[in-house]
Amino acid sequence: MNIEELKRILADQWEILSEKLRREKIVERELKARILRSFCPTAHIITGPRRSGKSVLSATLPGRALYVNFEDPALARFLVGDYKRLLQAGYELLGDFGYIVLDEVQEVEGWERMVSILRENYPTVVTGSNARLLSREFSTYLTGRYLSYTLLPFSFGEFLAYMGLSREVKTTKDEAKAKRLLLEYIETGGFPEAFHFGREYLVNLYNDIVTRDVIVRYGIRNVRELKEVSFYLFSNFAGRITYNKIKNTLGIGNVGTVKNYVDYLSSAYLVFELSKFSFKPKEVLRSEKKVYAIDTGMINAVVPKISENIGRLMENAVFLELMRRKYYRLPDIEVYYHRDNNGREVDFVVRDNEKITLIQVTYASELDEIAPREIENLFRAMEFFRLKEGTLITWGYSGEIKKDGRVVKAIPMWKWLLSHS
């Protein structure tokens, strides 16, 4: 591609992005602080689901950006060897720039080589909507000389900021508003554009991710089969799954095909698998998985009448918040679920080196609304892990439940989501 053509494309792309930045309310993303701590000349890889805000985050880092969106059909003929012309076009257009943004760069074959050169002189931000962006080839070219991040849809705190509201809840009126907005957040989810366009947007986004980030990217031949697996996982969110059961339920030829489908959907950030806790690594790998979806609003849009099951939606939202805490602030934590030999289950085990935290989620506003098994399962797990304290996330109940020298601390979900513990 020639320099004048690239200059025109870059100018058009920046005009489109600038108009979006002017039109939209820009929320300071929680991940930004982690990026800025090490924002220097190297490769900064930001992955996450499509339309979660990666482009806006990348374009609003400090300094002037040379921004390139490789999903633009105008760049379909761009080759990795055109990178010098790209830089020249950037210099002529901008004079100078502080960093480079390569949006959805996986569209360019051999992009890893281009990034390995550009990163030497500029912070080079690479975005992509597939976890396999960190390919074996890229790791080979950079040999660890890169930083990776994952951006998820809005947290509850970011949702409040988008709505122009403070995270501070000081009065009874504030608390009532927080719970009302939490219900709206669970129903709508955290994809920014869903606040404007609603359910139809989320259905289209779901189909877009399945089609573009899975079917097309991995060359899936049996499209119907893949779509059925995706819908099955969404319908069974916050539940346990086995590849064999999916195979039998959907009539798929072999378990390996099912596993591949689930891996592809996970790589596109549409679903997450959660392993059962064990002190033995091999048992963790072999364990029955639980599955969670990328967004509660998308679940509501895709799965009919699921909004009636607020408890499962709460659990999914808590899982996503735990993932944000891992991706944004606490990279060393590991998240599992617990299930003992008698089938007693606790939703989440959070392990930070030797420290273990147990979390149970229940839709209850008063103590007498909490199912006895929820509390009993938590106390049993506390005994197993030799813990004195456990956490019960509720809809509205706040208090302590004590038994045999152990205490379960109940905290309303809105308060837990707004904490940074």
The string of DSSP letters for 113-155 reads HHHHHHTTTS-EEEEES-GGGS-HHHHHHHTT-EEEEE--SPP
**Are the C-beta atoms of 238 and 316 separated by less than 8 Å?**
yes
**Distance between alpha carbon 213 and the CA centroid of its chain, in Å?**
15
Phi, psi dihedrals of residue 276, rounded to the nearest 5°: -75, 140
Half-sphere exposure for 153 (CA within 13 Å, toward CB)? 28
**In terms of C-beta density within 10 A (0-12 exposed, 13-18 middle, 19 or more buried), how is residue 420 classed?**
exposed
CATH of domain 3-151: 3.40.50.300
CA dihedral angle for residue 145, residue 149, residue 150, residue 151, rounded to 10 degrees: -140
Instruction: Report how far residue 211's alpha carbon sits from residue 227's, in angstroms, rounded to the nearest whole number.
Output: 9
First to last CA, the chain: 50
What pLDDT does residue 141 have?
A: 72
CATH 3.40.50.300 domain span(s) along the chain: 3-151
Mean pLDDT for each consecutive 10-residue tract of the chain (421 residues)? 96 95 91 96 94 95 96 95 96 96 90 92 93 66 83 97 86 86 96 93 98 95 98 97 97 96 97 96 91 98 86 97 97 97 96 96 96 97 98 96 97 93 49
What pLDDT does residue 305 have?
A: 81
**In terms of C-beta density within 10 A (0-12 exposed, 13-18 middle, 19 or more buried), how is residue 46 classed?**
buried
> Which residue is listed with tokens 């190297």?
42
Phi, psi dihedrals of residue 7, rounded to the nearest 5°: -60, -45
What pLDDT does residue 134 have?
A: 61
What pLDDT does residue 174 have?
A: 83
